[in-house]
């Protein structure tokens, strides 16, 4: 490994200062971040709604409710940022409304462990997504960076909660995990742009 490979990527002093020709502007970058994060928190909330519709009286319900409340707090923050920063939400919100609930309910119909496997997969992708965004934000966006760091830590906690509730023992864990991660990454890509 050479010297550069061992170092962490340097944070830009100003968001977007390291952009190349054709890359989104600083304003477009921030708008995309807020748009996709709002969509993601909305989708996560809907996943938990679907899980609770099926598992509302199960042993996992208190943990799912706690995670849903954290996602609602995140969503409230991004609702405010949409207005404050004058960012339009994704036009795919109606799709995420249905798809999130369906994913949550379908995973819960497979059992508590499958619901937790869904949570682990989604939260792992979102945690990575937030970390990537944090690395692209400069000192000019310190408040937004701090928010994303806090939310990323919450997502890591949700992933750990899922693991503690037996996610890895779900039937077909690997296949379910791969499918959910791919779907989550596609939703991120679409929500940034549309």
pTM, to two decimals: 0.89
Terminal alpha carbon distance of the chain: 39
Residue 7 gets the label, from left (phi > 0), alpha (psi -120 to 50) or beta, of beta
Sequential pLDDT tens for the chain (194 residues) = 444 444 455 667 778 777 788 888 889 999 999 999 999 999 999 999 999 999 999 999 999 999 999 999 999 999 999 999 999 999 999 999 999 999 999 999 999 999 999 999 999 999 999 999 999 999 999 999 999 999 999 999 999 999 999 999 999 999 999 999 999 999 999 999 89
Domains of the chain: 26-193 (1.20.1260)
């Amino acid at each position: 490994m050479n010297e550069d490979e061992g170092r962490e990527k340097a944070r830009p002093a100003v968001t977007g200062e390291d952009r190349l020709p054709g890359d989104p502007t600083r304003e477009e970058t921030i708008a995309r971040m807020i748009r996709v994060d709002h969509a993601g928190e909305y989708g996560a909330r809907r996943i938990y709604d679907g899980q609770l519709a099926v598992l509302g009286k199960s042993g996992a319900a208190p943990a799912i409710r706690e995670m849903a409340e954290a996602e609602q707090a995140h969503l409230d923050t991004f609702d405010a940022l949409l207005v404050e920063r004058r960012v339009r939400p994704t036009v795919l919100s109606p799709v995420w409304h249905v798809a999130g609930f369906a994913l949550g309910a379908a995973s819960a119909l497979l059992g508590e462990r499958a619901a937790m496997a869904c949570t682990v997969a989604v939260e792992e992708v979102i945690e990575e997504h937030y970390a990537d965004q944090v690395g692209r934000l400069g000192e000019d966006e310190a408040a937004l960076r701090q928010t994303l760091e806090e939310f990323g830590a919450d997502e890591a906690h949700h992933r750990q909660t899922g693991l503690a509730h037996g996610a890895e023992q779900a039937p077909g864990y690997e296949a379910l995990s791969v499918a959910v991660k791919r779907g989550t990454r596609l939703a991120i890509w679409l929500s940034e742009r549309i």
